[in-house]
Each structure stands twice: as C-alpha cells, then as structure tokens.
Amino acid sequence: MKASLCCSSSVENFKQNVLKNWQMEEWSGDKNEEVLFFGMYHKKDYKRLLNHKGFAYIFWCGSDILNLSKAPLWYRFLLKRKQTVHWCENDVEAKVLLKFFNKRINVCPSYVGDIPEVSFKPSQNPQVWLSCRPERKKEYGIGLVEEISKEVPEVTFHVYGIKNIYFYYAFHNIIYHGNVSEQQFNEEIKNYQAGLRLNEFDGFSEVLAKSILMGQYPISRIGYRFISSFVNKEELVQLLRNLKNHTEPNYAGRAYYLATLNKFPWLR
C-alpha cells in the first residue's frame, strides 16, 4: 500500500505539488496508515508523528533539521526511539541527523515540480538567478552577491522574492524582482544560464533542480554531482566567470537528475 502524505504547515506551499507530482493522497489521520511526514518543524508535527502507530517515513526538508536542537528533550528522546525511516537530500544534512539518531540516514535529492524542457542558450554575458525570503537575506547569500557583483560585471544577477532596499541604483548588475507569479518566474528563468544557491545548510533546492533540468549550469555552496560548488568567494567568482564558456546545454547533468530524483520507497 502506498504511503499517504502528512505535510508540515511550514512547507505548505509544496503540498499541492507533492500530492500531484508524487501522486499521493493526503493523510486521513488514521494512526495505522503508512505515512510520509514531510517536514518536521513544529510541536504539532512531532506530536502527530509520536502518536502515529503505523509505519512512518520522515522527509527532512532542511531548516527543520537545525530545529531539532531546539526541540524539547523528551520529543527528541521519543523520536529517537520510534521506528521510523529517515530521508534527507544531501550528506551535509545526513551528517547532522546522525548526531541525533545514530541510525541509517537515507539520502536522495527530491523535486516536486513539473519537469521543464531544456532551454539553455550560451551567452557571453551570463544571467544567473536565485531566490530569497525577506527575513533570511544573510542565509540566502544576498550580501555575498552584492559583495562580488563588481568583480563579475559581465554577469547579471536576478534575485526573486525580495525588492531592492536601496534608494539609489547601488548595483548595476543585480535586479531585484520581488514576488512574481510562478508562471512569470518559470518563463523568465528559461532565459538564464545558471541557478545560484548560496545557503550553507540546505536541502536540494528547487533552484538547483529547475536549473539543472533546463540544461543550465547551476552553482551551489553544497556539493552535488554534476553541479558546480565552491568553498570560498574566489572560487565562486571563478565559476561565475566560467559560465560564458559553456556552449551546449548541460545534457549530462539533466540526464543524471532525471534518473536520480525522487527515488523514494513511498513512491513505489
């Protein structure tokens, strides 16, 4: 029997895509069902899992892992003893989860959106794109983008999710788009050459997934196969400068992720 979905309210924006593209049903509340707990952010999420009697998977989304250290000790104690199967999206997350659970942590990148077509076109003036939330600009690396923008004047940075906070045109090659519709967002990023993800702790971002599936050359602070990564500012600048040297779509990266994404047992 296929698992049903229990989605944390903190990642509610992903729920409809998970239900549609993973072809899952929402959990009815039956404590004996096989359930995927998608995100573990709040006391309510912990309580629902701890009261559940059936088989349970936990899919850790990212910052919910960091929240584990803030959860009440007795929640963590009970969760450690409960028979659950843990999944996350990269080795950075798995390393932290191992400290809490000391059991096997399964790793697989996920993507819950529609599969985009290849749209990469080479450019001597590459355009890269990233997303951000207003209250989390440091975490999403906006300061780093503003710091290095003058070192790569040939690159244009498109920032989605926040508006320009400056009263003057401070950064000639950074465009703050603010919030746009998903349709507009998807149409605009087709024209760019790379998605950029600067978070030091993160799941496999939709930015990386969409970028690689469009045949672009994404750049990430966290290492993944077929995706360029960096450890310092100098390496990031060099990767951005190298974008103009890509003359063909990233077919190898796209093929790898089409074969690798979402290989989860609850989708059997």
pLDDT at 1 over 60: no
pLDDT at 15: 96
Asked if residue 82 has pLDDT above 90, the reply is no
**Residue 124, both tokens:** 């001597």
Task: Report, as an integer, the average pLDDT of 96-115.
Answer: 93
User: 241 pLDDT exceeds 80?
Assistant: yes
Q: Which of 95-104, 208-217, 238-247 has the lowest average pLDDT?
A: 95-104
- Tell me if 51 sits within 8 A of 21, measured CB to CB: no
- Output the pTM of the full model: 0.92
Q: Per residue, what are the HEC states of 232-258?
A: CHHHHHHHHHHHHHCCCCCHHHHHHHH
How much is the pLDDT for 110? 97
Q: Which helix or strand (DSSP H or E) is residue 74 part of? A: helix 73-81
* Bridge partners of residue 56, in order along the sequence: 35, 84
Q: Check pLDDT > 70 for residue 222.
A: yes
* Residue 29, both tokens: 């509340």
Using CA atoms, how far apart are residues 263 and 113, in angstroms rounded to an integer?
A: 15
Copy the structure tokens of residue 84: 């659950």
pLDDT in the model for residue 170: 67
Q: What percent of the chain has pLDDT over 70?
A: 97
* pLDDT confidence band for 229 (50 / 70 / 90): very high
> How high does pLDDT run on average in the chain?
93
Residue 167: its pLDDT value, please?
53
120: left (phi over 0), alpha (psi -120 to 50) or beta: beta
pLDDT at 148: 96
**5-16 residue pLDDT tens:** 999 999 999 999
pLDDT exceeds 70 at position 36:
yes
Q: For residue 238, what pLDDT is reported?
A: 98
67-74: Cβ within 8 A, 24+ apart: 67/40, 67/41, 68/40, 68/96, 68/97, 68/100, 71/46, 72/43
